[in-house]
Structure 1
Amino acid sequence: MNIKAVKISLYVCIALFITSCADKPKDVIMRANTGFALGTTYSIQYEIFDEKEDYKNDIENVFFEVNQSISTYIRTSDISRINKGEKDIVIDDYFKTVYEFSREVYEKTDGYYDPSVGALVNAWGFGPEKPINNLNKQQVDSILLFTGFDKVRVTKEGKVEKDHPSVTFDFNSLGKGYAIDLIGEMLDKKGSKNYIIEVGGEILTKGINTSKSKKWFVGIDSPIQDEEERQYIEYITLENKAMATSGNYRKFRIDPITGDHYVHILNAKTGYPMKNNVLSVSVVADNCMKADAYATAFMVMPYEKTKQLLSELKDVDAYIVSKDEQGNMQTYSTKGFQDLIIK
């Protein structure tokens, strides 16, 4: 399973910056902020009520606080210190939230979603630590001995207990979505009624695109194209919803010794990069952390098991792109997702 904060990019198919003032209601002003955070870019457009208002510092502060809690790329973050074996750290609300939701998804997916794969992520070369070149089965099996969300717990005092000191957390599979939700909460408190938040392709929307008096809409990237290409297979509308996409067709690592290609989505049950016919999964949910986590989970779960779980999750919809036996692209989508597709 991929626990790294790089996923397939969703491109916002709206004019975020080039809009006609004449199209806007007179009492609505939209502010746009862009930048770099969480190892990727962000683009956020939100409603303000005074030309002087600009929430970029507030946005950057959200990214900073989330990083200090759950970024494995910051050596002094809480998660990095816990991964190193420090036992006296009392987790903050950020860590607690992602931990508890990870536990929920872990249980609902029968362990296919598992943020304790940090050591495997590092070993395969997709984390902050030096990879193990020419990784062999014995080494993978040894790492699996201390992989598993059932091997960790949080005490009443808010401290993490591990069955093995080498258990390593990695919440990157939902950390980006969680940060987006926090930015949305911040904008809500500021009184913004209409916004779209995009970070590395993950998206959260509220209200409408006031510049066009229409719902926000986004495009789903085609997984069958060259890296330099930009083709979309569907466009959907989003209103007060979040969407995240996960895939295994562009992000990979080449072993410098063997020349083997390893995709970045790892299976916590086997310890190996995923090998299946699913190319990408786009998930729509009521918050981005949920969409983010399930998009990753559905890339790892067996195809039929994913469809079964989707039938049980009433607040999660998905669009799955896969290959048939002849290598042709095929799609599956839930009824709720189909209703969002722009015909």
Structure 2
Amino acid sequence: MKAITFPLYICIAFLMTSCVNKPKDVIMRANTGFALGTTYTIQYEIENEKQDFQEDIENVFHIVNKSMSAYIPTSDISRINRGEEGVVVDDYFKEVYEFSREVYQKTDGYFDPSVGALVNAWGFGPEKPINNLTGKQVDSIMEFTGFDKVSLSPDRKISKAHPSVTFDFNALGKGYAIDLIGKMFDEKGINNYIIEVGGEILTKGKNTKRVQPWTVAIDSPVQDDDAERQYMEYIFLENKAMATSGNYRKFRIDPETGDHYVHILNAKTGYPMKNNVLSVSVIADNCMKADAYATAFMVMPYEKTKKLLSELEDVDAYVVSRDQFGNIQKYVTKGFQDLIIK
């Protein structure tokens, strides 16, 4: 799974090219910056030039970090990971925890936010990695890995079966922050917006400057460094979220052995993922859901992924993989296919 500061490996770009016949009375505000360890670009339609919700956006990032950033020692998650007694989690932590439990159960444990100790050991977290990590060490960490080893009491306190259980909400925390920004816009009466943070996207309404739904592009997971950026597809998004997970950009190189380790970990084995899936883009009704399942489908066996997709409501996916001969293969659900621009 991923690890806050939310590294930017997601490969989605949204298109902001101009178009003829734009409505003259449409005013679009664009706020850009750096948060959660990555960049963000947020566009929204405003009623007058004085409206600017930059401060409100930054406040959302602040409250998410305060609750769930493993890189901030005073955050709730850091205090819980250290084993502090009596930590009462806030509404944000509770919501993410409860949804994590749901996805953990639906994915048969392939999605597991208790992998924080493994994330650190492999060099993708806030703690110093273990170089030349041995199988025995991995097995030892696996003894206190598992979302079935934690519980949340009615008074909002976390109980652990082992004191070394370590949370990592990176696989859905960024998507959750995006949803909170969207909720803030909704409360302020903003009807048309696109929120992009590190490649994860939430949309509402339309791009009224272009008189069409918001248009986003899915990067190809195979890029030639000397060529122009390649895209797999362009899609229309309206009142939907999209998140992409992949193994092709973020990795760590062991300084002693030179081995490459991808950032997504298999909670069943304790090791970085090694499979033929290159990337998964998920569309859902909110970004936390899209974010979580994009990571889960990277880890799950291919047939399990397809079966679960057939059972989930409001979740569609675009899966890119290699076959045994190295050829690129695509699996696209009907709901996703319907949004692709022909």
Q: Shared fold by TM > 0.5? A: yes
2:95 is matched with: 97
The answer on whether the counterparts of 1:197 and 1:205 sit within 8 Å (CA) in structure 2 is yes
- Unaligned 5+ runs, structure 2: none
The answer on whether the counterparts of 1:44 and 1:196 sit within 8 Å (CA) in structure 2 is yes
The answer on whether the counterparts of 1:267 and 1:300 sit within 8 Å (CA) in structure 2 is yes
The answer on whether the counterparts of 1:194 and 1:206 sit within 8 Å (CA) in structure 2 is yes
The answer on whether the counterparts of 1:153 and 1:160 sit within 8 Å (CA) in structure 2 is yes
Cα offset, 1:11, TM superposition: 0.6
| In the alignment, structure 1 residue 252 sits paired with structure 2 residue 256 | no
1:160 is matched with: 158
The one-letter code of the counterpart of 2:169 is F
In structure 1, how many angstroms separate the alpha carbons of the residues matched to 2:74 and 2:11? 29
| In the alignment, structure 1 residue 13 sits paired with structure 2 residue 15 | yes
Residue aligned with 1:23, SS: coil
The one-letter code of the counterpart of 2:218 is I
Q: Extract structure 1 runs of 4+ deviating beyond 6 A.
A: none
Residue aligned with 1:330, SS: strand
In structure 1, how many angstroms separate the alpha carbons of the residues matched to 2:151 and 2:133? 29
Residue aligned with 2:335, SS: helix
The answer on whether the counterparts of 1:3 and 1:265 sit within 8 Å (CA) in structure 2 is no
Cα offset, 1:29, TM superposition: 1.8
The one-letter code of the counterpart of 2:14 is V
Cα offset, 1:2, TM superposition: 3.5
2:168 is matched with: 170
In structure 1, how many angstroms separate the alpha carbons of the residues matched to 2:113 and 2:219? 26
2:73 is matched with: 75
Distance 1:123 1:226, change over 3 A: farther
1:44 is matched with: 42
Pairwise mapping of residues 1-343 of structure 1 onto structure 2 (< 5 A)? 1-3=1-3, 5-6=6-7, 7-15=9-17, 23-26=22-25, 28-226=26-224, 229-343=228-342
In structure 1, how many angstroms separate the alpha carbons of the residues matched to 2:286 and 2:107? 18
How many residue pairs get matched? 339
| Cα shift readout 1:77-110 (whole Å, capped 9, x = no counterpart) | 1100100001211000110011000000000000
- Unaligned 5+ runs, structure 1: none
The one-letter code of the counterpart of 1:83 is N
Residue aligned with 1:139, SS: helix
In structure 1, how many angstroms separate the alpha carbons of the residues matched to 2:258 and 2:224? 21
Distance 1:316 1:112, change over 3 A: same
The answer on whether the counterparts of 1:105 and 1:293 sit within 8 Å (CA) in structure 2 is yes
The one-letter code of the counterpart of 2:215 is F
Taking structure 2 as the reference length, what is the TM-score of the superposition? 0.97
Taking structure 1 as the reference length, what is the TM-score of the superposition? 0.96
Residue aligned with 2:303, SS: helix
